[in-house]
Amino acid sequence: MFESAELGHRIAKADYQGIVPELRKSLLDVQFDVQQNSPLRIIVVIAGVEGGGKGSTVNLLNAWMDPRLIETHAFDQSLSVSLKEPAFHRYWQCMPPRGRLAIFMGAWYSDLIEAHVSGKLRKGDFDRKIQAIINFESMLTHESTLILKYWLHLSHAEQKKRLNSLAADPDMSWRVTEAGWHQLKHYETYRSTAEHCLRLSSTGENPWVIVEGVDERYRNLTIGQHLHDRIKEAMVRPLDNKRIQAPPLLSPIDHRSILDTLHLDNELSRQDYQKQLGILQGRLHNLLRSEEFKKNHALITVFEGNDAAGKGGSIRRITQALDARTYRVVPIAAPTPEEKLRPYLWRFWKNLPDAGHLTIFDRSWYGRVLVERVEGFCSTADWMRAYDEINQFEHQLAESGIIILKFWLAISADEQLKRFQEREQTGFKRFKITDEDWRNRNKWDAYAEAVNDMVDRTSTQTAPWILVEANNKYYARIKVLSALCDHIEKQLK
Amino acid sequence: MFESAELGHRIAKADYQGIVPELRKSLLDVQFDVQQNSPLRIIVVIAGVEGGGKGSTVNLLNAWMDPRLIETHAFDQSLSVSLKEPAFHRYWQCMPPRGRLAIFMGAWYSDLIEAHVSGKLRKGDFDRKIQAIINFESMLTHESTLILKYWLHLSHAEQKKRLNSLAADPDMSWRVTEAGWHQLKHYETYRSTAEHCLRLSSTGENPWVIVEGVDERYRNLTIGQHLHDRIKEAMVRPLDNKRIQAPPLLSPIDHRSILDTLHLDNELSRQDYQKQLGILQGRLHNLLRSEEFKKNHALITVFEGNDAAGKGGSIRRITQALDARTYRVVPIAAPTPEEKLRPYLWRFWKNLPDAGHLTIFDRSWYGRVLVERVEGFCSTADWMRAYDEINQFEHQLAESGIIILKFWLAISADEQLKRFQEREQTGFKRFKITDEDWRNRNKWDAYAEAVNDMVDRTSTQTAPWILVEANNKYYARIKVLSALCDHIEKQLK
Which residues of B are less than 8 Å from A30 in CB distance? Answer: none
**Which backbone phi and psi does B300 adopt, to 5 degrees?**
-125, 125
Q: Which amino acid makes up residue B254?
A: D
A326: nearest Cα among A365, A265, A284, A363: A284
Inside any domain, residue B243: no
Inside any domain, residue B368: yes
What residue numbers bound the domain in which B341 lies?
261-492
- Do B430 and B423 touch, CB atoms closer than 8 A? yes
Facing residue for A67 by CB, picked from B72, B171, B319? B319
* Closest approach of A24 to chain B, Cα-based (Å): 11
For residues A221 and A315, state if they share a domain.
no
**Which backbone phi and psi does B226 adopt, to 5 degrees?**
-65, -45
Residues 134-173 of A with CB under 8 A from B: 171
Inside any domain, residue B246: no
Inside any domain, residue A388: yes
CATH of residue A470: 3.40.50.300
Facing residue for A32 by CB, picked from B32, B324, B428? B428
Q: Does this model's pTM top 0.90?
A: no
Residues 83-112 of A with CB under 8 A from B: 103, 105
Distances (CA, A) of B233 to B36, B41, B209, B229, B237: 16, 14, 16, 6, 6
pLDDT tens digits along B399-454? 999 999 999 999 999 999 999 988 877 655 555 667 778 888 889 989 999 999 99
Worst-scoring range by mean pLDDT, A1-10, A71-80, A460-469, B375-384? A71-80
Inside any domain, residue A54: yes
* Closest approach of B247 to chain A, Cα-based (Å): 38
**Which backbone phi and psi does B353 adopt, to 5 degrees?**
-75, 150
Would you call B324 and A289 a contact, using CB atoms and an 8 Å cutoff? Answer: no
For residues A171 and A286, state if they share a domain.
no
Inside any domain, residue A312: yes
**Which backbone phi and psi does A83 adopt, to 5 degrees?**
-60, -25
B44: nearest Cα among B27, B22, B21: B27
**In percent, how much of chain A has pLDDT > 70?**
94
Which residues of A are less than 8 Å from B336 in CB distance? Answer: 337-338
The backbone region for A47, taken as left when phi is positive above 0, alpha when psi lies in -120 to 50, beta otherwise, is: beta
Inside any domain, residue A18: yes
For residues B174 and B306, state if they share a domain.
no
C-beta pairs of A338-341 under 8 Å, 24+ apart in sequence: A338/A97, A338/B336, A338/B337, A338/B338, A341/A41, A341/A97, A341/A98, A341/A99
C-alpha B387/C-alpha B364 separation (Å) is 13
For residues B166 and B307, state if they share a domain.
no
Query: How would you list the strands of the sheet with B358-362, edge to edge?
Result: B327-331, B358-362, B298-305, B402-410, B465-469
For residues B223 and B319, state if they share a domain.
no
- A338 part of contact set with chain B, CB < 8 Å: yes
* Closest approach of A106 to chain B, Cα-based (Å): 12
For residues A204 and A152, state if they share a domain.
yes
pLDDT tens digits along A186-234? 999 999 999 999 999 998 889 999 999 999 999 999 999 999 999 998 8
* Closest approach of A336 to chain B, Cα-based (Å): 8
**Distance between start and end Cα atoms, chain B:** 47
SS3 of B132-161 = HHHHHHHHHHHCCEEEEEEEEECCHHHHHH
A467: nearest Cα among A482, A480, A484, A478: A480
What pLDDT sits at residue B493?
82
For residues A83 and A227, state if they share a domain.
yes
For residues B180 and B268, state if they share a domain.
no
Q: Is the dihedral of CA B97, B103, B109, B112 positive or negative?
A: negative
pLDDT tens digits along A28-75? 999 988 988 878 899 999 999 999 999 899 989 998 998 888 999 988
- B312 part of contact set with chain A, CB < 8 Å: yes
For residues A228 and A273, state if they share a domain.
no
> Which residue, among A62, A76, A78, would best test binding to B if mutated, counting the most B CBs under 10 Å from its CB?
A62
How many domains in chain A?
A: 2
Segments of chain B scoring below 50 in pLDDT: 79-83
Chain A: residue whose CA lies nearest to B337: A337
| DSSP single-letter state for residue B444 | H
C-alpha A473/C-alpha A297 separation (Å) is 30
ipTM of this predicted structure: 0.75
User: In the predicted model, is pLDDT for residue A342 greater than 50?
Assistant: yes
Contacts of B51 (CB under 8 A, 6+ apart): B154, B159, B162, B163, B166, B176, B180, B213
For residues B12 and B50, state if they share a domain.
yes
A262: nearest Cα among A44, A26, A476: A476
Which residues of B are less than 8 Å from A362 in CB distance? Answer: 68
Residues 35-64 of B with CB under 8 A from A: 36, 55, 58-59, 61-63
- B10 part of contact set with chain A, CB < 8 Å: no
Facing residue for A62 by CB, picked from B68, B69, B324? B324
Facing residue for A325 by CB, picked from B29, B74, B282? B74
C-beta pairs of B380-385 under 8 Å, 24+ apart in sequence: B380/B246, B381/B142, B381/B241, B381/B242, B381/B243, B381/B244, B381/B245, B381/B246, B382/B142, B382/B241, B384/B244, B384/B246, B384/B249, B385/B139, B385/B142, B385/B244, B385/B246
Given B236, B271, B295, the domain boundary residue is: B236
For residues A361 and A393, state if they share a domain.
yes
For residues B109 and B184, state if they share a domain.
yes
- B319 part of contact set with chain A, CB < 8 Å: yes
